[in-house]
Amino acid sequence: MAKADLLSLGDILSVDGLYLLGYSWLFGMSVWISFFGGVIAYKTLPRQQFGQLQHKTFPIYFVLSLGISSSLLAIWIAKHPDVTSQLTRPTLADVAQVYALGSVLFNQGLNKFVVGPLTSSTMFARHKLEKEEGKVYSDPGVSQDMLKLNRRFGMLHGISSLANLFSVISLVFHGLYIGKAGVKGY
């Protein structure tokens, strides 16, 4: 029989454990928001209520993503201090993880500070124009202004979705690596 160790708070409050907990939270939240929560809300709520929900949900999601990914990046660099002098060598495994976490940070920052606000303002302008015209954005015969807003919204939504997808892909890459190699530093 294996030796039985007593469990202590110090055993579970390690930097590696907190790192994995933070990664798990970020990955789970990203997958849920990207592939499940939004789809369920879209299928369940009237369009304008869905838009309002997304307008309230996404800023919180982006702030949490920024906070957790920046914390993970800081811990990773602290545990792997050589990566800062090797940043020009992205094929090194530890450096590649910096790029993966940096990609999450960049893409979620882009969504939080640039694309998200532009998308929301375009959505609200479209809602306002729908009321003024008495037509839904997708009705035949909408104004040229509505068509411009539709194109702008579609472009912004596409950029936001791609940035978010790149973040999820980066998190999958990082998760597969830490699943194999762990978080251990040197």
Instruction: Specify the pLDDT at position 63.
Output: 98
Whether 70 shows a pLDDT value over 80: the answer reads: yes
Domain range enclosing 92: 15-181
Q: Is position 117 within any domain?
A: yes
Q: How far apart are CA 86 and CA 92, in angstroms?
A: 8
Query: Mean pLDDT across the stretch 144-159?
Result: 97
Sign of CA dihedral 72, 78, 82, 84: positive
Cα distances (angstroms) measured from residue 125 to each of 32, 148, 162 = 28, 11, 23
Render pLDDT for 5-48 as a digit per residue (tens, 0 to 9). Answer: 888 887 788 999 999 999 999 999 999 999 999 999 999 999 99
Q: Is position 2 within any domain?
A: no
Render pLDDT for 109-149 as a digit per residue (tens, 0 to 9). Answer: 999 999 999 999 999 999 999 999 999 999 999 999 999 99
Q: Is position 8 within any domain?
A: no
Q: How many domains does the chain have?
A: 1
Whether 185 shows a pLDDT value over 90: the answer reads: no
Q: Is position 68 within any domain?
A: yes
Q: Is position 3 within any domain?
A: no
Q: Do the beta carbons of residue 90 and residue 96 sit within 8 Å?
A: yes
Q: Which candidate, 129, 137, 166, places its Cα nearest to that of 154?
A: 137
Q: Is position 4 within any domain?
A: no
Whether 1 shows a pLDDT value over 80: the answer reads: no
Q: Is position 1 within any domain?
A: no
Q: Is position 186 within any domain?
A: no
Q: What percent of the chain has pLDDT over 70?
A: 99
